[in-house]
Amino acid sequence: MAQIREYVTDNAGEFFEDLKDWLRIPSISSDPDRVADVRASAEWLAAKLRADGFPVVEVWETGGGAGLPSVFAEWPSGDPDAPTVAVYGHHDVQPVTPLELWQTGPFEPTERDGRIYARGAADDKGQIFFHTLGLKAHLAATGRTAPAVNLKLIVEGEEESGSPHFAALLREHADRLACDVVVVSDTGMWAKDTPTSCTGMRGLIAAEVDFTGPHGDVHSGSFGGAIPNPITELVRVLAQLHDAERKVTLAGFYDGIVELSETDRELIAKLPFDEQEWLGNAKSTAAVGEAGYSTLERVWARPTAEINGIYGGHTGPGGKTIVPSEAHAKLSFRLVAGQEPTEVAKAFEMWIAERVPAGITAAVRFEGEGVRPCLTPLDHPALQSVSRALGRAFAEDPATPREILYTREGGSGPEADLQDVLGAPVVFLGISLPDDGWHGPNEKVDMDLLLKGAEAAAHLWADLAEHGLG
Amino acid sequence: MAQIREYVTDNAGEFFEDLKDWLRIPSISSDPDRVADVRASAEWLAAKLRADGFPVVEVWETGGGAGLPSVFAEWPSGDPDAPTVAVYGHHDVQPVTPLELWQTGPFEPTERDGRIYARGAADDKGQIFFHTLGLKAHLAATGRTAPAVNLKLIVEGEEESGSPHFAALLREHADRLACDVVVVSDTGMWAKDTPTSCTGMRGLIAAEVDFTGPHGDVHSGSFGGAIPNPITELVRVLAQLHDAERKVTLAGFYDGIVELSETDRELIAKLPFDEQEWLGNAKSTAAVGEAGYSTLERVWARPTAEINGIYGGHTGPGGKTIVPSEAHAKLSFRLVAGQEPTEVAKAFEMWIAERVPAGITAAVRFEGEGVRPCLTPLDHPALQSVSRALGRAFAEDPATPREILYTREGGSGPEADLQDVLGAPVVFLGISLPDDGWHGPNEKVDMDLLLKGAEAAAHLWADLAEHGLG
């Protein structure tokens, strides 16, 4: 096991130089002028994987003619009992405006204080790239010519554009991507000295509600006080969205959700959480939410109903004495394991229908079919393997793994598609830090942690082969 | 008394021709290109009043250099015990767009079906002008060389621009305008066969509320469910604006208001009110309001809290998964006699302050100082005189006045300034009909009703002189 660290350390220099080459390609998927760069990024990665020895490397076109290809690579173990692992990440990056806030060019990777600064350094090229070093360390340490697991890589090219064709691509190539577990390397950990693995993400369903009262604005002097005002009525309805304990009042909203176990709560409580610092990041002055849960529990493990926007009547300067014709609200629900976006959509439609007041016409629309939540239980064999692999990578002596803690992701992502389409549990192996500047200026990645990521990957393949996914 | 009708009938032809001359002057006060026309309209009226025999006629400049003068005229009775009456109206008119909707030119007065079609025919030149004929009928019928009351006219030139300088003008000339009663001729009556007088108008105070949560939009995945959302919080507060009976919940809101008497309610119930037709005008499908009151009572005699506009967070197309930074609402309160706009403003500020949730910063702003309500009680001698005068004008035989009913105005206007600055009660003598098209295309006035207005004015001066104002 010590050999892994030795190999990683010995080959770190070349690894960082290669990563910087990749980071120089401005693969911004949302910028139509960068389509060729996204393709160049895919081709660069494909060439690198071929050079590393992957027997199968393919550049996959996605639907819709967007020209933002994914890279698929496969390296069979040769062992008929070996589990099959699919590693997910993406090679496209976010836009870089406002450029003037960058200390050095976003596509001129620069080392400062043990970090590499560049767009994509952490999100997500760096975290895909540590797998190349990890795999070679795994081969070197085990003396094998093929990995101990059947290894597949699927590296997307349009994640930063909302993955519009990714689910279709997964379905199209479901047989090629068939696997026992998905390892997502597109997240982070709690802190440099607190290694963690993410165990799940919240789902999402977004809705818009329209309330129409009079079929045109009318004079509030002539009619005010005697006809329903759609803003007043919408406000009266939406005020019922949460009860006094800040629980969401949709019928059946909490039915069947995976509640936090005592162990889950103890492990979350072990994280060195500074609520004042967190509130600073939340730009807020008070932590408010569902009664009976801590702040981290609320954002990680509890579903929510959020009003993202509201508008109606006169919104320009000054006053206007009208009973307005319309009022609108945009809402989104974050969901946790056990909730189905389509079920919540139905419950919300019914919730509104039951509350439409006299004289008001209501309409409810949903944005798409939503995103399903995902959660891998702490006792799942794959998560146990990830924990041990991370524990070894971050231990003084890899033979004695240190304790790993667990986070969740309050947001929602295409990881749920992987879980659903491939029918495999999702685990997370990520080393980015909360202040790495994802989507912002001066994105960076910690170079020590990239090497820890490589070590963890090397340990993980051996561990999964040894313990299986029984 | 029959002489009045005879005089009015005999002189109707000349009266209508003169009125059409005045209506040809496009005195649109809100149009900077029509400033000279507003002045010409004032000079036209001044010349007419001088020709009619008013010993004092002055064109008064208003403040602010707007160049939209008022006309003041005075004709003392000569009788030391005669009451003093100030008649209020305005000679400026609304804009006329969209022109293509007018059947005949807005400044080419045209007779059709017993009506004169022109901008200002009803609002308000026609209704000021019937006083000139009424006064001459009064002199002819009584054989007097001066009116039986001390008569003052104040005809504003910027009413359709919001009367920005009118209160100041009243204060400047308070001694010249001193009177025992103000007769406002700038409203209407219920229907051609249902003569009514308006007895009051609601007041108004408008406010804007700002709720700020996070000091910038934040990601609803990372923070949603654990920090206060200013839209959700504003909605939860504003939903408390009305209780289950639709009463406004501001502390002391109803304290000291003039409640409807049994007689008030009986008289309102006598009006031939068609709720379906009213709902059509209200563009609404349901009559909803304060429990225990009819629709007319709600809009005429009950105070309200109306949300005129609301906005916050993402209001563009599609969704945006944020906890927004801000939410705003624009509100206005219609007030009834016994309520003070400044007191209601204070109560609303306190109401909000008592409800600001943790993590939210709230601000409340008011638009100006509001408009006070006005109400003249049914048993007030001036209103009794107006009722008898209207009753005679609309009676088969003027010696036997018919019954008059009473309306109120749900809106708010500068009439309250007259009441406040001049310290005199306000009564309403108007003959316009609800479908006269005020502010819209094809504004018109019923020619029979203009003559009824003249008759009523002639009866009113004699009645006030006879009965006094006790």
Mutating which of A187, A284, A412 best tests the B interface, going by the most B Cβ atoms within 10 A? A284
Residue entry with tokens 């995945």: B221
pLDDT at B115: 98
Give pLDDT, residue A121.
98
Q: Do B310 and A306 touch (CB under 8 A)?
A: no
Q: If you ran DSSP here, which 8-state letter would residue B28 be given?
A: B
Identify whether the C-beta of residue A290 lies closer than 8 Å to the C-beta of residue A247: yes
Matching residue, tokens 């069979």: A76
> Do B287 and A227 lie within an 8 Å CB cutoff?
yes
Q: Are A328 and A312 in contact (CB under 8 A)?
A: yes
Q: For B206, which of A232, A288, A319 is closest by C-beta distance? A: A319
Residues of chain A with CATH 3.40.630.10: 2-201+374-467
Task: Measure CB to CB from residue A334 to each of B202, B220, B367 and give the nearest one.
Answer: B220
Q: How far is CA B218 from the centre of its chain?
A: 47
Grouping H, G, I as helix, E, B as strand and the rest as coil, residue A273 is: coil
Give the per-residue pLDDT at A415.
82
d(CA B209, CA B230): 11
For chain B, give the percent of residues with pLDDT over 90.
89
Chain A residues closer than 8 Å to B202 by CB: 221
Which residues belong to CATH 3.30.70.360 in chain A? 203-257+303-371
Nearest CA in chain B to A285: B359
Query: How far apart (Å, rounded) are the C-alpha atoms in residues B328 and A75?
Result: 58
Q: What is the pLDDT of residue B257?
A: 97
Which class for A234: exposed (0-12), middle (13-18), buried (19 or more C-beta within 10 A)?
Answer: buried
Residue A20 sits at φ, ψ, to 5 deg, of: -60, -40
Q: Least CA distance to A331: which residue of chain B?
A: B319
What three-state secondary structure class fits A427?
Answer: strand
Would you state the pLDDT for residue A137? 98
- pLDDT for the residue numbered A260: 97
Counting one residue from chain A and one from chain B, the pairs whose CB atoms sit within 8 A come to 282
Report the pLDDT value the prediction gives residue A204, as an integer from 0 to 100: 94
Residues 205-224 of A with CB under 8 A from B: 206, 208, 213-216, 218-224
* A396 exposure class (CB count in 10 Å sphere: 0-12, 13-18, 19+): exposed
Q: Which of B206, B308, B325 sits opposite A313 (nearest CB)?
A: B308
pLDDT at B356: 98
pLDDT of residue B164: 86
Give the nearest partner residue to A410 out of B224, B239, B303, using CB atoms: B224
Q: What share of chain B is helix, strand, coil (3-state, %, to 5)?
A: 35, 25, 40
List, for residues B178-226, the tens digit of each pLDDT value: 999 999 999 999 999 999 999 999 999 999 999 999 999 999 999 999 9
- Which token pair is B312? 């916050």
Residue from B208, B215, B232 to probe the interface with A (highest A Cβ count within 10 Å): B232
Please state the ipTM of this predicted complex. 0.90
What is the least distance, in Å, from the CA of A239 to any CA of chain B? 4
B324 reaches A (C-beta below 8 A): yes
User: With helix as H, strand as E and coil as C, how does A96-114 read?
Assistant: CCCHHHCCCCCCCCEEECC
Q: Does B411 touch chain A (CB under 8 A)?
A: yes
- Which of B223, B236, B439 is best to mutate for the A interface (most A CBs within 10 A)? B223
Binary contact (B306, A220; C-beta < 8 A): yes
Cβ contact, residue pair B226, A324, below 8 Å: no
Q: How far is CA B48 from CA A35, A257, B51, B118, B421, in A?
A: 79, 83, 5, 20, 28
- Model pLDDT, residue A416: 82
Checking if the pLDDT of B326 tops 90, the result is yes
Q: What is the pLDDT of residue A93?
A: 95
User: B101 CB near a chain A CB, below 8 Å?
Assistant: no
Identify the segments of chain A with pLDDT beneath 50.
none
Judging contacts by C-beta atoms under 8 Å, the chain B residues touching residue A231 are: 307-310, 329
Quote the Cα angle for B430-B434-B435, to 5°: 125
The pLDDT assigned to A240 comes to 98
Residues 165-204 (A) with a CB less than 8 A from some CB of B: 202, 204
Q: Point out the residue among A224, A315, A410 whose CB comes nearest to the CB of B221.
A: A410
Question: Which chain A residues are within 8 Å of B325, Cβ to Cβ?
Answer: 283
Q: What pLDDT score was predicted for residue B64?
A: 74
CA angle A241, A246, A248 (to 5 degrees): 40
What confidence score (pLDDT) does residue B284 get?
Answer: 96
Taking the C-alpha atoms of residue B113 and residue B62, their distance in angstroms, rounded to an integer, is 39
Residue B383 has pLDDT above 80, yes or no: yes
Would you call A220 and B308 a contact, using CB atoms and an 8 Å cutoff? yes
Tokens, residue B454: 């003249």
Reported in sequence order, the residue ranges of A81-223 that DSSP labels E, i.e. its strands, are 84-90, 110-112, 115-117, 150-156, 181-184, 196-201, 203-212, 218-219
pLDDT at residue B20 in the model? 98
Chain B residues within an 8 Å CB radius of A336: none
Confidence (pLDDT) at B458: 98
pLDDT at position A178 = 96
Question: Per the CB < 8 Å rule, is B239 touching A242?
Answer: no
Residue with tokens 């009664």: A291
Average of per-residue pLDDT values in chain B: 95
- Given an 8 Å threshold on Cβ–Cβ distance, is A227 in contact with B330? no
Give me the CATH code for the A203-257+303-371 domain, please: 3.30.70.360
Interface of A with B in 297-316 (CB under 8 A): 298-299, 302-304, 306-315
Please give the CATH superfamily to which domain B2-201+374-467 belongs: Zn peptidases (3.40.630.10)
- CB neighbour list of residue A397: distance below 8 Å, 6 or more residues apart: A2
3-state helix, strand, coil in chain A (%, to 5): 35, 25, 40
Asked if residue B412 has pLDDT above 90, the reply is no
- Whole-number Å distance between alpha carbons of A212 and A357: 11
Residue A301's closest CA among A387, A201, A189? Answer: A201
Q: Which residues pair with B446 in a beta bridge?
A: B115
Residue A80, C-beta contacts closer than 8 angstroms, at least 6 positions apart: none
DSSP letter string, B312-373: EE--SSS---EE-SEEEEEEEEEE-TT--HHHHHHHHHHHHHTTPPTT-EEEEEEEEEEE--
Which residue in chain A has the smallest CA separation from B237?
A239
State whether B298 and A225 contact (CB < 8 Å).
Answer: yes
